[in-house]
Amino acid sequence: MVSEFKITVFEGDGIGPEIMAPTLKILEHLQNTHSAYSLIFSTAAAGAAHYVKTKESLPESSLSLARSSDAILLSAMGLPDVRYDDGTEISPQIDLRKEFNLYAGVRPVVVRDGKSCPLIRPNGETIDFVLIRESTEGLFHTQGKGEVTETEAKETLLITRQVSEKLFDFAFNYATQRKAAGVGKGHVTCVDKANVFRAFAFFRKIFYERAKNFPDIDARHAYVDATALWMVQQPWNFDVLVTENMFGDILSDLGAGILGGLGLAPSADIGDDHAVFQPCHGSAPDIAGKGIANPFAMILSASMMLDWLGHRHNHRQMILDAALLKEAVNAVLTDGNSITADIGGNATTTTAANAVLQQLTVQ
Ligand code: ATP
């Protein structure tokens, strides 16, 4: 029997619909190739443009569609000129993280031979690490509720045992899975500032408590400032990094820089029961409507969705298709003839996405 999976699709704002359409076409091609699974896509309204029309950024109907689905695929939401009355930006993607307790933000950074990278790799080292960013608390705890007076401003950092334990278990399981697949080095590094803040000493203590349940994985720690330095000087030594929300927010953009740009950086936000897959970049309003947006971060996020669904439901073809899709994007990048302007080419979104489709048909 063909396994069916319900996918809620948020097309979002700006370049969102432009990168989502070819991604869905690619997913349809993959599922039709072996007919071993079926993805049923339902589009849900949300975002800044929707807010302008309705005064709602994430309607309850969209939320309940997402809640009842097996996975959520999201492009990008928000527009700089569209804001709530308090001046903050419309960001339903952050609301979804909180609503569904998506505590583990997974940001892979992979640079293999043949791919350009702004860093000098003395011996052509492969960079292949994953940053796991806690995504529901930390310094984002008081987001939208910070106290500001004429003389001072306060935001509160929150680290809870409950979320930290889940986060660290997720990171150790992820490292175990990478090691078994032959891509990981078998270590997890807790990135913190435990030398200065009690909250981070608490975070690190829980990390080492949970590490005891994973004797095959080497547990390490590093300060966030030193980690930023090493991400530039020797990122090939990392495997899995796990960190607090704000540190992860900043380090993941550094990771996107190592990849060669936001247009190549995919992500997943994962909880116990739900997961959202979306590119790290925003809605890029400056290039929206021009047909030149890079679709690769969106396509790679779709690959992460297939992989997550495949492991969750023990579905081998989905795991294989996730890997095929990643390799197809890599092949197009290595070839370099069908890449968009942000990474040095002149291809349109459609040409770049069609090149991936073409690779899938010859693989
Ligand atoms: P957010 O705060 O929502 O993350 P942002 O304001 O940081 O968004 P982005 O929308 O990510 O910014 O855009 C930052 C820059 O990167 C812009 O110049 C944009 O055109 C470019 N950019 C982002 N995504 C892409 C893409 N997929 N293809 C090409 N350029 C992109």
13: Cβ below 6 Å to ligand 1?
no
16: Cβ below 6 Å to ligand 1?
no
Compute the distance from residue 363 Cα to the ligand 1 centre, in Å: 31
Nearest CA to ligand 1 atom 15: 284
State residue 117's pLDDT score. 82
Which range, of 78-92, 126-140, 206-220, 302-316, averages the lowest pLDDT? 78-92
Query: Counting atoms of ligand 1 from 1, which one is nearest the CA of 341?
Result: 29
Tens-place pLDDT, residues 317-359: 999 999 999 999 999 998 999 999 999 999 999 999 999 999 9
- For the chain, domain boundaries: 1-100+273-363, 109-262
* 1-100+273-363 against 109-262: fold identical: yes
Nearest CA to ligand 1 atom 8: 282
Tell me the pLDDT band of 260, cut-offs 50, 70 and 90. Answer: confident
HSE-CB at 264 with a 13 A cutoff on CA atoms is 25
* Level-2 CATH architecture, domain 1-100+273-363: 3-Layer(aba) Sandwich (3.40)
Q: What is the DSSP string of 214-272?
A: -TTSEEEEEEHHHHHHHHHH-GGG-SEEEE-HHHHHHHHHHHHHHHTSGGG-EEEEE-S
State residue 363's pLDDT score. 67
Nearest CA to ligand 1 atom 22: 284
Please state, in angstroms and rounded to a whole number, the distance separating the CA atoms of residues 287 and 261.
Answer: 15
- How crowded is residue 286: how many other Cβ atoms within 10 Å of its Cβ? 9
Mean pLDDT over each residue of the chain, to the nearest integer: 94
Domain 109-262: top CATH class: alpha beta
263: Cβ below 6 Å to ligand 1?
yes
Taking phi over 0 as left and psi of -120 to 50 as alpha, with beta for the rest, 219 belongs to beta
Tens-place pLDDT, residues 168-199: 999 999 999 999 989 999 999 999 999 999 99
Tens-place pLDDT, residues 72-92: 999 999 999 999 887 888 889
Tens-place pLDDT, residues 142-155: 988 899 999 999 99
Nearest CA to ligand 1 atom 2: 282
% of the chain with per-residue pLDDT over 70: 99
Tell me the pLDDT band of 114, cut-offs 50, 70 and 90. Answer: low
Q: Is the pLDDT of residue 160 over 70?
A: yes
Q: What is the pTM of this model?
A: 0.93
Compute the distance from residue 249 Cα to the ligand 1 centre, in Å: 15
Please state, in angstroms and rounded to a whole number, the distance separating the CA atoms of residues 178 and 184.
Answer: 5
342: Cβ below 6 Å to ligand 1?
yes
Compute the distance from residue 102 Cα to the ligand 1 centre, in Å: 23
Contacts of 6 (CB under 8 A, 6+ apart): 40, 42, 68, 69, 70
